């Protein structure tokens, strides 16, 4: 996996830490550039308030702290639902052609959360469009080396890649703690991250790992 320029698309803040926080930290520590695009702040899952705007502000503030800690750039689009698919595909195409990633990471298409699955679908389609002579008003075609899906709640039976994050597991857990509002809602999440990291790493001879599934969206372009 070429981690020199990594573009990550996630549904909500904290998905990037759960799914690929160790890989993000590894890329940054190895001198890579990482950018995270968040579709929606997800303000409804903040225990202290029923005001969605207040919840969103809390989660975006947490995202800022995580971004500073792990070392990635980020942007939030405030897309709660993908109602106009063409418009969102164009937005993703523009982002890809602007950033020119070597690698794209996003949700698994089999994730049970509907926005996770929709983000996966849109990003996969848009990545293929970004390689073609389509939407030339959005920039010249760009082809990343691959798209990889990561795990959040629904796990891969046979992942196609395991990244060794043994040196970065503590940073991944520390980053998750910065999402204090989500640790309160999911109090088991820190144990989950370490347990899943061990499950993914130990069979490969690593202390901790993160699992990925390579997308077939770029097959036609080689």
Q: Which residue in 23, 4, 51, 31 sits closest to 175, CA to CA?
A: 23
Chain centroid, CA 171 distance in Å:
16
How confident is the model at residue 45, as a pLDDT?
59
How confident is the model at residue 222, as a pLDDT?
37
Q: Are the C-beta atoms of 58 and 46 separated by less than 8 Å? A: yes
Q: Is 133 exposed, middle or buried (0-12, 13-18, 19+ CB in 10 A)?
A: exposed
Residue by residue, pLDDT tens for the chain (222 residues) are 999 999 999 999 999 999 999 999 999 999 999 999 999 987 555 556 566 677 788 889 999 999 999 999 999 998 988 989 999 999 999 999 999 999 999 999 999 999 999 999 999 999 999 999 989 999 999 999 999 999 998 999 999 999 999 999 999 999 999 999 889 988 999 999 999 999 999 999 999 999 999 999 886 443
User: 5-217 sits in which CATH class?
Assistant: alpha beta
Domain residue ranges in the chain: 5-217
């Amino acid at each position: 996996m070429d981690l020199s320029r990594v573009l990550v698309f996630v549904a909500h803040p904290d998905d990037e830490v759960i799914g690929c926080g160790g890989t993000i930290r590894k890329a940054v520590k190895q001198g890579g550039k990482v950018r995270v695009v968040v579709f929606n702040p997800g303000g409804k899952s903040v225990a202290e308030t029923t005001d969605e705007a207040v919840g969103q502000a809390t989660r975006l503030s947490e995202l800022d702290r995580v971004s500073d800690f792990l070392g990635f750039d980020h942007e939030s689009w405030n897309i709660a639902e993908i109602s106009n698919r063409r418009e969102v595909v164009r937005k993703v195409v523009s982002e890809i052609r602007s950033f020119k990633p070597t690698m794209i990471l996003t949700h698994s298409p089999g994730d049970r959360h509907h926005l996770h699955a929709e983000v996966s679908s849109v990003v996969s389609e848009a990545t293929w469009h970004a390689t073609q002579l389509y939407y030339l008003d959005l920039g010249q075609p760009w082809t990343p080396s691959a798209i990889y899906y990561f795990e959040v709640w629904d796990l891969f039976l046979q992942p196609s890649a395991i990244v060794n994050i043994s040196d970065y597991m503590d940073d991944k857990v520390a980053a998750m703690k910065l999402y204090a509002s989500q640790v309160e809602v999911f109090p088991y999440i820190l144990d989950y991250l370490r347990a899943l990291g061990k499950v993914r790493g130990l069979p490969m001879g690593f202390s901790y790992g993160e699992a990925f599934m390579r997308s077939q969206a770029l097959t036609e372009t080689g």
